[in-house]
Amino acid sequence: MTAEPAGLLVEKLGVHLDPELLVLALTHRSFAHEAGGIPTNERLEFLGDTVLGLVVTEALYRRHPDLSEGELAKMRAATVSQRSLAAIARRLDLGAYLLLGKGELATGGRDKDSILSDTLEALFGAVYLTHGLETARTVVETLVDPTLEVAADLGAGLDWKTSLQELAARLALGVPEYRCEADGPDHARRFTASIVLDGEVRGVGTGTAKKVAEQEAAAAAYRALQELVTPDDGVTAAVAASSQRPARATSTGSAAGA
């Protein structure tokens, strides 16, 4: 990594970072392993994750005094999710600055959600170590504020899997069963998830990660079930009849995961 790109990243963050600490924050374990076991960014990531959680939790608490703990928890989860953090990292073009091993470079590591989100958290940790909590708060809030604003309007979309489970329980359809299949080469895997409720497939979703596919499937299932809910009695005859039918035999599938 040359001095110029490092300077551009620091400029985007809006704070000064010691060059050695910045390099550490950008050092993925794959690069560290190939370089003979030098330190990785994982300890900084651990610290930055805590800083991020605190700043986001406090911001939500202060901005939404009328929301319940459960609603705040959903908004926080949506804001600090791997997918949301990776989107922020892409706005910073963080992938261009990563120090990755040859294997990760060959499999598209510069654009992997997991690597981008972890590195962003490591940068938050580096800012905290250098400048303390107040400056770290400013940096975190500046970067995540657009996500916080969107989260306030997402409703059920804050966490489709949890929202689906709650709606399924309300409709007496049981616990959602998630089935997931993957195809394609390792560097371009594509996942397809389906959700079974009361013996029927209620939603299907796809994505580049299992969690993404499951959230997409949960969103589809939630919207499908919402169409069967009436304002008067809460459940239409179609749902009621569905819940009375014996469940059809299903193949083994994975339980709903976080």
Buried b (16+ CB within 10 A) or exposed e, 17-42: beeebbbbbbbbbbbbeeeeeeebbe
Lowest mean pLDDT among 18-22, 28-32, 170-174, 175-179: 170-174
Could you give the CA distance from residue 163 to residue 60 in angstroms, rounded to a whole number?
20
Convert the pLDDT of each residue in 223-254 to its tens digit. 888 877 755 544 444 444 444 443 333 333 33
To the nearest whole number, what is the mean pLDDT of the chain?
83
Of 49, 113, 159, 198, which residue is the catalytic one?
A: 49
pLDDT digits (tens, 9 = 90+) for 35-52: 999 999 999 999 999 999
pLDDT at 25 (0 to 100): 97
45 annotated as belonging to a binding site for a ligand: yes
User: What pLDDT does residue 5 have?
Assistant: 58
Over residues 12-34, mean pLDDT:
94
Locate 143 and state its tokens. Answer: 């970067």
Share of the chain above pLDDT 90, in %: 48
Name which of 17, 159, 144, 149 is nearest 86 in CA terms.
144
Q: Which two tokens stand for residue 50?
A: 């805590």
Fold classification of 160-229 is Double Stranded RNA Binding Domain (3.30.160)
> Which pLDDT band holds residue 152 (cuts at 50, 70, 90)?
low
End-to-end CA distance of the chain: 36
Spatial strand order of the sheet with 254-255 comes to 200-207, 190-197, 177-183, 254-255
* 119, 41 Cβ separation under 8 angstroms: yes
Long-range pairs of 56-61 with CB within 8 A, sequence gap ≥ 24: 56/80, 56/140, 56/144, 56/148, 59/141, 59/148, 60/148
Task: Give the pLDDT score at 71.
Answer: 84
**For residue 177, what is the enclosing H or E element?**
strand 177-183
**pLDDT given at position 57:** 96
Catalytic residue, from 104, 113, 121, 198: name it.
121
At residue 175, what is the residue type? V
SS3 126: helix
Class of domain 5-157: mainly alpha
Query: Could you read off the pLDDT of 54-77 as tens digits, one per residue?
Result: 999 999 999 999 988 988 888 888
Average pLDDT over residues 212-221: 86
49 is catalytic: yes
The predicted structure's pLDDT at residue 247: 37
Per-residue model confidence (pLDDT) at position 186: 72
The answer, yes or no, to whether residue 3 has pLDDT greater than 60, is: no
Q: Is 232 annotated as a binding residue?
A: no
Domain boundaries, the chain: 5-157, 160-229
Summarize pLDDT for 201-216 with one digit per residue, the tens. 999 999 878 888 888 8
Confidence category of residue 198, pLDDT binned at 50, 70, 90: confident
Gap between the Cα atoms of 1 and 55, Å rounded: 30
pLDDT the model gives residue 238: 42
pLDDT score for 115: 95
pLDDT-wise least confident of 130-144, 214-228, 243-257: 243-257
What was the pLDDT predicted at 231?
54
Our measurement of the distance from residue 115's CA atom to the centroid of its chain's CA atoms, rounded to an integer in Å, reads: 12
Query: Residue 216 has what pLDDT?
Result: 86
Q: Does the annotation count 121 as an active-site position? A: yes
